[in-house]
């Protein structure tokens, strides 16, 4: 990549801006750094769900369970059937509950429907595929809503910049924002973080983070679907919608590296490709990536993510320090060892709260009492951008610096109005989509 | 079936002792391993219908599983963290593939197999001190599941009945199940609609040796899916049952299709 661009978003200024803006610093993560007043909500807390798939429905359920005053008042999805499935699942779970306030006219469908749903709410849950997050977050903030949004927060650099801009405004307006990087709300991570920062085994020199698994669902093309509808349904396999699994899924582990090291990387280099998963309904994304992230003090983190069946699964983060090592995973494990192999701490997660519930309990707890406690945008942006940086490295086969990546006008997501609109990528005559080729793919 | 009131570590749900008649059956000598289970898991196409879970396998309308949330799925190690439904679907797939009828054991079959023909707390007697030769438990596992068949088998040639992975059986858990069994019961089984609690047997690498007794009864809970962030939750995977696996049985007399179907675990959506 050429270094000719204006560095409007250089790494340093980016971090400075972000930290100035952050109500809760990265170090204090979700803890109340400063308690500020925001508008308190009397009586019921109205919630709108934008993006009604399995995760959106799950988040709605967690919101309902977070506080008895939460009332789901509106659902928005591009697809009517998704919104209906969401509603029937919630009704199944909360049949007797008055926390479901959705009548038929409060289900909104289509690309622009998020606006109508957001308008009706105090708090919005943004759980569409990540491509749409920047647009939805921008509108939610404009309309003074508190936000729970899933990770990643964008699929491209243009989206990242939009989120940064909206984050500033959210901060000025004291809107609580929680991002679904739930490891920050999980006890084993919080406990180990504290112990590592206290210097239990010195400081981090290197790490390995993994999301190696068999992959996720596929939704094959159906008759009568427009190209755009097909891509929206089978969204995992299209970069503009999903960001590739290094961004969509592996972000969790990459985020842990940023969190524990206390910085974003200076640069990334790596390799990746499609070895196994390259069928007709597998769109464009790679089935494996391996990236080395280099951090400012020379720490190096190797990141592996693989979607290949029949291989060993591992979803975990492990780090070497000056005096030992430690390992963590979403399964609740957390272990610190000294450099003689002796266990210094082993976390027992038996009584830990489910982190997906915890993040909603914390968010709605703050909103209810009118406090401004949560701003996860900084780490949401940083983790997403780090993963995008890794993807740029594996797609191009080049070393990509943070500063260069952020100075790009890298934009994948078009403005969409209807399922009849042109899709941003199209298959060739054999039904194959353009796949990135290391050494050939470039960004300008 | 059940344990005497004076058995060490005995719980109330294990009594009273009662006679059970069982039809002959074969039971797998070891817990189902990842290499076996992945033939089922990965051999299928991966299309899914509207909700998570139901996938057409192309074999006798058996549906297959989504991919796991389990680290270290190594060959020769028991498959773990799967739901009772997933375990049953594996049996159904195996039946379709082989032409022989396989299913999960009933709780009574499991206990019979575990005892190895003797009526002591463990197949190796009552002395907990001998457990190390036969079983992986909290005291000797260092908290991790082990490769199958590393310990001695019981008198029936069955490995890891005590410990390593706890094992799914077909029955729903009822702490008072035995109380009504005043006379010899014929092939007992309790199947209820509730998804929880259902029985797991044999204890695991995480449990004290006393929980590995042949009569000891464990059971599932919704907490085993607590970290599934979606609604509906996965039909196939638990998130917090890394100690639970299964083994298969094949009845000596093959039941007719209708009877076969009665022993398949029904899918139940969890919201």
pLDDT in tens, B104-122: 999 999 999 999 999 999 9
Measured between beta carbons, which residues in chain A are less than 8 angstroms from residue B228?
Answer: 58
**Residue A65's pLDDT is what?**
95
Q: What are A239-287's pLDDT values in tens digits?
A: 999 999 999 999 999 999 999 999 999 999 999 999 999 999 999 999 9
Question: Average pLDDT, whole number, for chain A?
Answer: 91
pLDDT at B56 over 70: no
pLDDT at B44 over 70: no
A45-50 vs A36-37, strand pairing mode? unpaired
Q: CA A244, CA A373: separation in Å to the nearest integer?
A: 32
Confidence band of B64 (pLDDT split at 50, 70, 90): low
Lowest mean pLDDT among A148-152, A276-280, B42-46: B42-46
Give the pLDDT of residue A102.
Answer: 81
Per-residue pLDDT, averaged over B216-234, amounts to 92
Model confidence pLDDT, tens digit, residues A89-126: 999 988 867 888 887 779 999 999 999 999 999 999 99
User: What is the pTM (predicted TM-score) of this model?
Assistant: 0.87
Domain boundaries, chain B: 12-262
Q: Measured between alpha carbons, how far is A125 from A138 in angstroms, rounded to an integer?
A: 13
CATH topology of domain B12-262: 3.90.1580
Please state the separation of Cα B108 from the chain's center in Å: 12
Q: Return the pLDDT at A95.
A: 80
**Is residue B46 over pLDDT 60?**
no
What's residue A103's pLDDT?
Answer: 77
Residue B1: enclosing H or E segment and its boundaries? none
pLDDT of residue B73 exceeding 60, the answer is yes
Strand partners, A152: none
pLDDT tens-digit map of A293-328: 999 999 999 999 999 988 889 999 999 999 999 999
Peptide bond into B232 cis (omega under 30): yes
State whether A58 and B240 contact (CB < 8 Å).
Answer: no
Quick check: B50 contacting A, CB < 8 Å?
yes
Is pLDDT of A444 > 50? yes
pLDDT at residue B61, as a whole number: 41
How would you class A25 by CB atoms within 10 Å of its CB: exposed for 0-12, middle for 13-18, buried for 19 or more? middle
Which ipTM value was assigned to this complex?
0.79
Q: Do B46 and A310 touch (CB under 8 A)?
A: no
Q: B231 to chain A nearest CA, in Å?
A: 4
Q: In this complex, do B227 and A355 lie within 8 Å of one another by their Cβ atoms? A: yes
Is 50 exceeded by the pLDDT of residue A24? no
Please indicate if any CB of chain B lies within 8 Å of the CB of A314.
yes
Q: Would the pLDDT of B47 be above 70?
A: no
- Please give the Cα distance from A3 to A178 (Å, whole number): 35
Predicted local confidence at residue A36, as pLDDT: 55
User: Which residues from chain B sit within 8 angstroms of residue A214, using beta carbons?
Assistant: 41-42, 67-68
pLDDT band at A204 (very low <50, low <70, confident <90, very high): very high
Average pLDDT in the A142-149 region?
98
Chain A neighbors of B227, CB-CB under 8 A: 330-331, 354-356
B50 confidence band (pLDDT: 50, 70, 90): very low
Q: Does pLDDT of A228 surpass 60? A: yes
Check pLDDT > 70 for residue B45: no
Report pLDDT digits (tens) over B123-146. Answer: 999 999 999 999 999 999 998 999
* Better pLDDT: A92 or A394: A394
For the stretch A42-99, pLDDT in tens is 789 999 999 999 999 999 999 999 999 999 999 999 999 999 999 999 999 888 678 8
For position B49, what pLDDT does the model report? Answer: 38
Q: How confident is the model at residue B66 (pLDDT cuts 50, 70, 90)?
A: low
Distance between A56 CA and the closest CA of chain B, angstroms = 8
pLDDT at B244 over 90: yes
For chain B, say whether A218 makes contact (Cβ under 8 Å).
yes
pLDDT band at residue A15, thresholds of 50, 70 and 90? very low
Crossing angle for the helix pair A133-142 and A157-172, nearest 10 degrees?
20
Averaged pLDDT for residues B161-176 = 98
Inter-chain contact A92–B269, Cβ cutoff 8 Å? Answer: yes
pLDDT of residue B78: 97
Confirm if A61 and A49 have CB atoms less than 8 A apart: no
Residue A42 pLDDT: 72
| Alpha-carbon gap, residue B131 to A143, rounded angstroms | 65
> Residue A414 to residues A132, A206, A425: CA-CA distances in angstroms?
10, 38, 10
**Stretch B257-270: mean pLDDT, rounded?**
93
Residues of B in contact with A218 (CB under 8 A): 46-48
Q: How far apart are CA B139 and CA B206, in angstroms?
A: 9
Q: Tell how strand B244-245 and strand A288-294 pair up.
A: unpaired
A to B CB pairs, distance under 8 Å: 85
Task: Centre a 10 Å sphere on the Cβ of residue B132 and count the other Cβ atoms it contains.
Answer: 13
Please enumerate in sequence order all residues whose Cβ is within 8 A of that of B152, keeping only pairs 6 or more positions apart, or say none: B124, B133, B134, B159
Q: What is the mean pLDDT of residues A148-161?
A: 98
């Amino acid at each position: 990549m050429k270094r000719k661009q204006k560095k409007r978003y250089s790494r340093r200024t980016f971090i400075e801006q972000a930290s100035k803006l952050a109500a809760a610093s990265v170090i204090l993560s979700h803890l109340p750094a400063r308690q500020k007043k925001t508008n308190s909500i009397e009586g019921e807390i109205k919630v709108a769900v934008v993006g009604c798939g399995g995760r959106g429905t799950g988040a709605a359920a967690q919101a309902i369970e977070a506080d008895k005053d939460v009332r789901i008042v509106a659902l928005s999805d591009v697809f009517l059937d998704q919104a209906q499935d969401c509603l029937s699942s919630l009704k199944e779970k909360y049949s007797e509950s008055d926390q479901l306030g959705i009548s038929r006219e409060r289900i909104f469908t289509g690309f622009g429907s998020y606006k109508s749903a957001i308008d009706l709410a105090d708090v919005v849950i943004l759980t569409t595929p990540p491509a749409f997050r920047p647009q939805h977050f921008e509108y939610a903030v404009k309309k003074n809503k508190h936000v729970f949004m899933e990770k990643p927060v964008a699929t491209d650099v243009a989206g990242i910049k939009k989120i940064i801009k909206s984050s500033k405004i959210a901060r000025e307006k004291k809107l609580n924002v929680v991002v679904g990087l739930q490891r920050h709300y999980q006890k084993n991570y919080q406990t180990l973080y504290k112990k590592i920062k206290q210097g239990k085994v010195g400081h981090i020199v290197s790490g390995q983070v993994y999301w190696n698994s068999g992959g996720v669902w596929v939704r094959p093309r159906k008759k009568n679907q427009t190209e755009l509808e097909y891509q929206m349904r089978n969204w995992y396999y299209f970069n503009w919608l999903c960001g590739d699994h290094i961004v969509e899924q592996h972000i969790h582990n990459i985020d842990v590296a940023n969190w524990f090291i206390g910085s974003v990387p200076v640069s990334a280099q790596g390799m990746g490709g499609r070895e196994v998963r390259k069928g007709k309904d597998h769109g464009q994304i790679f089935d494996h990536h391996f990236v080395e992230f280099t951090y400012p003090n020379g720490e190096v983190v190797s990141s592996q993510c693989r979607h290949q069946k029949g291989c060993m699964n591992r979803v975990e983060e492990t780090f070497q320090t000056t005096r030992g090592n430690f390992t963590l995973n979403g399964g609740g494990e957390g272990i610190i060892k000294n450099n003689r192999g002796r266990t210094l701490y082993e976390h027992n997660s038996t009584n830990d709260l489910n982190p997906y519930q915890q993040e909603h309990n914390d968010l709605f707890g703050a909103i209810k009492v009118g406090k401004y406690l949560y701003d996860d945008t900084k780490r949401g942006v940083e983790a997403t951008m780090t993963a995008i940086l890794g993807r740029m490295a594996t797609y191009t086969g080049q070393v990509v610096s943070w500063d260069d990546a952020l100075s790009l006008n890298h934009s994948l997501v078009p403005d969409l109005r209807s399922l009849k609109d042109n899709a941003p990528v199209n298959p060739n005559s054999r039904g194959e989509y353009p796949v990135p080729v290391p050494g050939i793919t470039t960004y300008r | 079936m059940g344990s005497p009131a004076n058995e060490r570590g005995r719980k109330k749900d294990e009594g009273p002792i009662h006679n059970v008649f069982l039809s002959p059956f074969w039971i797998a000598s070891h817990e189902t391993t990842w290499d076996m289970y992945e033939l089922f898991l990965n051999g299928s196409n991966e299309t899914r219908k509207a909700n998570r879970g139901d996938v057409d396998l192309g074999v006798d309308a058996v549906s297959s599983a989504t991919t796991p949330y389990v680290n270290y799925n190594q060959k020769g190690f028991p498959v773990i963290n799967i739901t009772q439904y997933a375990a049953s679907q594996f049996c159904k797939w195996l039946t379709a593939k082989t032409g022989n009828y396989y299913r999960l054991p009933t709780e009574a079959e499991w206990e019979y197999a575990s005892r190895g023909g003797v009526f002591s707390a463990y197949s190796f007697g009552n002395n907990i001190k001998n457990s190390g030769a036969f079983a992986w438990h909290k005291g000797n596992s260092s908290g991790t599941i082990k490769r199958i068949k590393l310990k001695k088998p019981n008198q029936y040639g069955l490995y890891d009945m005590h410990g390593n992975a706890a094992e799914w059986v077909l029955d729903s858990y009822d702490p008072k199940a035995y109380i009504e069994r005043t006379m010899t019961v014929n092939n007992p089984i309790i199947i209820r609609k509730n998804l929880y609690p259902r029985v797991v047997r044999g204890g695991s690498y995480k449990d004290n040796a006393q929980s590995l007794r042949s009569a000891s009864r464990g059971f599932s809970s919704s907490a085993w899916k607590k970290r599934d962030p979606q609604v509906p939750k996965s039909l196939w995977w638990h998130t917090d049952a890394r100690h639970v696996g299964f083994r298969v049985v094949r009845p000596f007399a093959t039941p007719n299709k209708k009877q076969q179907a009665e022993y398949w675990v029904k899918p139940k959506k969890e919201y």
